[in-house]
Structure 1
Amino acid sequence: MKDESLADLLGGRRGAIDATLPPVAFVAGWLVTGQSVWGGVIVALAVGVAVAGWRLRRGDRPRAVLVGLLAVCLAAMIALRTGRAADFFLVQLVSNAASALVWTVSIVLRWPLLGVVVGTVLGQRTRWRRDPALVRAYSRASWVWVLQYAVRLAVFLPLYAADQVVALGVARAALTWPLVAACLAVSWWVLRRTLPDGHPGIRHPVTEPQPAMSTTD
C-alpha cells in the first residue's frame, strides 16, 4: 500500500495559498492608495472574487469557496466599520483563538479533531474511535495543530495591538501555507511514532472484539 501522508489525505496547500492572497492584496491596496481602508478593501474584494472564481473553475467545492469569500467580506466589513486597517485581520485572530480552543477541548473529550477529519476523509465515520491506539495517536498529533494556532496568535496579537498593518500581511502570508505544511509533516510524524509496532495504520483501525453473548442462564 502506498505510504500516504496527512498532506496526501487532507491536501490544503492550494486553499492555504489562496487564503493569503486577499490579505496581501488588502495591504498592497492600502499602501498604494495612501493608507486608505477603502482602497485596501476594494483590492482585497476584487482579488477574493477572482480567487473564488478560479477555485470554482478548478473544481473546488462551492461551499468551501463561499466560506472563503465570506471571510474576506466579513474582514472588509469590520475594517470599514472601525476605519482601522489592522482590523481587517481581526477575523483571523478570532478564528485562530477559537480553533485552538476547539482542538484542545476535542483532545480532552477524547474526540481529537484530527481523527474526526481523517476518519471522515477515509469514510470510517467513528470506527477509528474503537481503536485505543488510534485515539491516543490522534490525540497526541492534534496537539501539534493546537500549537500551530498558538504560534499564529503569539505573532499576530502584538502586531495587531501595535497597528502594524504591513507586518500583519507579511505574517499572514508566512504563517499560512509554510506553517500548515510544517504542521502536517510534524503531526504525521507524531501519529506514526505513537502507533505501536505492527499496527496496520490509519486506514485500518483495530477495533476491539465484542464480548461473546452467553448462552447460559
Structure 2
Amino acid sequence: MTTPEPDTRESLREILGGRRGAVDASVPVVAFVLVWLLAGALSWWSPVGIAAGAAIVAGIGVACWRLARGRRPRAVLFGLLGVTVAALVALYTGRAEDFFLVQILSNVASALAWAISIVVRWPLLGVIVGLALGQKTRWRRDPDLLRGYQRASWVWVAQYVVRVAVFVPLYQAEWVFALGAARVAFSPALVALSVVLSWPALRSALPADHPGIRHPRVADAPPEAPTVDGSSTNG
C-alpha cells in the first residue's frame, strides 16, 4: 500500500475539522458554565438567565472575530444559531443542564443520519469531502472510493454514539459542570480522533495504485456500438 500524499492527508484533515471549530464551540459553553456557577454562588437573580445571556454574548463575540478573520459567514452563523437555541431552551425550562439538550439530541440525530447514509450508499463523509473538493457526486462512480467512504463514515457514527453514551448519564444526573467539562475537553478530542482514524479507514478500501480522494477513478462510458449499416446507435 502506498503512502498518501501529504497534501491529500492534510486536505482531508482540514475538510473534516480543525482546532478553530473546537475553540469556537467551546467559548460559549465555558461562558455559560462559569457564569452559572458564579451567579449561583453569589445568589444572583436567575443564574440560568444570566448564564444564557453570557453564552449568547460569547457566541456573538466569537462570530464577529471569525468574520473579521475571513471565515465563511454561513459556518459562523450556524454556530451562533446553535448557541442561541441552546440558551433559549435553558431559559425556557429554567434548568441549566438543558443548555446541553440540543447538543445531545443533535448527536443522536447525527448518529442515525450517518448510519442511514452508509446503508443507502450515500455515506455522508463522501458527500462532505466531495462537495468541498468540487467533485459533486463523481466519487460515487468510483467503487473503491464509495467503499472507503462507507468504512470511514462508521468512525463518525461511533464517535456520535460515544458522545451520547457519555452525555446522557451526565444530563440525567444534572451535573452541569461535568457536562461543560465534557463538552469542552471530550468532544473536541473525539472529533480529532475521528479525523485521524478516517484516513486509514478510507485508505484501507483503496488499491495501492489508486490516485487518492482528489482523483476519483470513474470508468469512461462504453463506446457506441455501430449498427449493421455502420452508423452510430445514437441515430
TM class by shorter chain equals over 0.9
- Between the aligned partners of 1:208 and 1:91, the Cα distance in structure 2 is 44
1:115-194 aligned at under 5 Å gives the runs 115-194=126-205
Question: What is the alpha-carbon distance in structure 2 between the residues aligned to residue 117 and residue 9 of structure 1?
Answer: 8
The aligned residue for residue 99 of structure 1 is 110
Distance in 2 (CA, whole Å) between partners of 1:107 and 1:191 is 13
Residue 19 of structure 2 is aligned to residue 7 of structure 1 = no
Return the match for 1:40 from 48, 51, 68: 51
Larger Rg, first or second structure (1 or 2): 2
**Cα displacement string for residues 124-156 of structure 1 (whole angstroms, at most 9, x for unaligned residues):** 111111100000000000000011111110000
Equivalent in 10, 17, 22 of residue 28 of structure 2:
22
* Root-mean-square deviation (Å): 1.3
The letter for the 2-side match of 1:66 is L
Give % identity. Answer: 59
Which residue identity does 2:71 align to in structure 1? Answer: D
Number of equivalenced pairs: 217
- 1:76-91 counterparts in 2 under 5 A? 76-91=87-102
Amino acid at match of 1:169: G
Contact 1:20 1:176 in 2 (8 A): no
Deviation of 1:61 after TM superposition, in Å, equals 1.2
Which consecutive unaligned segments of at least 5 residues does structure 2 have? Answer: 42-46, 229-235
In 2, distance between residues paired with 1:162 and 1:70?
A: 27
- In the alignment, which of 204, 209, 218 is matched to residue 207 of structure 1? 218
How many Å apart are 1:2 and its aligned residue? 4.0
Separation in 2 of the partners of 1:138 and 1:60? 27
- Deviation string for 1:20-47 (max 9, x for gaps)? 1111211101000016111211221121
Mark the runs of 5 or more structure 1 residues left unpaired by the alignment.
none
Q: Compute the displacement of 1:210 (Å).
A: 1.7
Q: Distance in 1 between matches of 2:126 and 2:83?
A: 29
Residue 182 of structure 1 and its aligned partner are, at CA, apart by: 0.7
Contact 2:96–2:176 (Cα < 8 Å) also in 1 = yes
